[in-house]
């Protein structure tokens, strides 16, 4: 399957049906929604698949990107795509690709994970995108682990990609800011209930 960034650059697409790339119109809508926050941002991509969302963020100025997927082949494809896009940017962003089950990785906490790569030493993330398998029941565990593990900056936001027919409930401590529906796909923009507005 052909996979292209919104600017036309061709990316590698993971083989098989395991990965489900975010549709191009959803990617573009999300990037437009976040355009003021993307330059210089720290982007965490959970269940990253091909890495296309992180690549879109890099194209728009993300300075630090961490992508996580449990499938070894998919994580390798994400790394190739991220390297390709990052190498076209000056200065190039700091990159880290993690091949591990995402909730298990998050639960160790950011301070422990930072021992694996200096890319994590710069604090939490202000933009986090999570696109788990829709029916896997991972939305609440992901949000709970993000909050518990010091992953989200005080002004940070989390975007959850989910099925329009099955909008997940948010666990305690999180609030819905925006809900955008794009056919069968919905994106929820959420933040912590104690988020700093300053």
H or E element, residue 105: helix 102-107
pLDDT for 123:
76
Task: Compute the distance between CA of residue 26 and CA of residue 110 in angstroms, rounded to an integer.
Answer: 29
Task: Compute the distance between CA of residue 105 and CA of residue 176 in angstroms, rounded to an integer.
Answer: 25
Give CATH superfamily name and number for 28-192: Vaccinia Virus protein VP39 (3.40.50.150)
Task: Compute the distance between CA of residue 94 and CA of residue 42 in angstroms, rounded to an integer.
Answer: 9
Task: Compute the distance between CA of residue 104 and CA of residue 34 in angstroms, rounded to an integer.
Answer: 28
CB of 26 closer than 8 Å to CB of 159: no
CB of 45 closer than 8 Å to CB of 76: no
pLDDT for 19:
62
Pull the structure tokens for residue 184: 């069968």
Task: Compute the distance between CA of residue 147 and CA of residue 14 in angstroms, rounded to an integer.
Answer: 30
Of 102, 101, 60, 52, nearest to 78 (Cα)? 52
Burial of 27 (0-12, 13-18, 19+ CB in 10 A): buried
CB of 169 closer than 8 Å to CB of 140: yes
H or E element, residue 99: strand 94-99
Token pair 């961490």: residue: 66
Per-residue pLDDT of the chain (198 residues; tens, 9 = 90+): 557 777 667 888 876 555 667 888 999 999 999 999 999 999 999 999 999 999 999 999 999 999 999 999 999 999 999 999 999 999 999 999 999 999 999 998 877 776 566 666 667 899 999 999 999 999 999 999 999 988 999 889 999 999 999 999 999 999 999 999 999 999 999 999 886 554
CB of 38 closer than 8 Å to CB of 54: no
Helix axes 24-33, 52-59, angle to 10 degrees: 40
């Amino acid at each position: 399957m052909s996979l292209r960034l919104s600017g036309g650059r061709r990316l590698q697409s993971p083989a098989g049906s395991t990965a489900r790339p975010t549709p191009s119109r959803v990617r573009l809508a999300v990037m437009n929604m976040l355009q003021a926050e993307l330059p210089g941002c720290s982007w965490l991509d959970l269940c990253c698949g091909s890495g296309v969302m992180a690549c879109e963020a890099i194209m728009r100025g993300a300075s630090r990107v961490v992508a996580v997927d449990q499938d070894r082949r998919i994580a390798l494809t994400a790394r190739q795509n991220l390297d390709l896009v990052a190498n076209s940017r000056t200065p190039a962003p700091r990159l880290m690709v993690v091949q591990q089950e995402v909730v298990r990785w998050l639960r160790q906490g950011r301070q422990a994970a930072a021992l694996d790569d200096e890319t994590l030493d710069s604090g939490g993330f202000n933009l986090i995108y999570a696109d788990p398998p829709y029916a896997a029941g991972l939305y609440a565990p992901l949000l709970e682990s993000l909050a518990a593990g010091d992953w989200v900056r005080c002004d940070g936001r989390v975007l959850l990609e989910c099925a329009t027919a099955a909008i997940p409930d948010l666990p305690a401590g999180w609030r819905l800011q925006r809900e955008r529906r794009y056919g069968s796909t919905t994106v929820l923009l959420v933040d912590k209930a104690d988020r700093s507005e300053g």
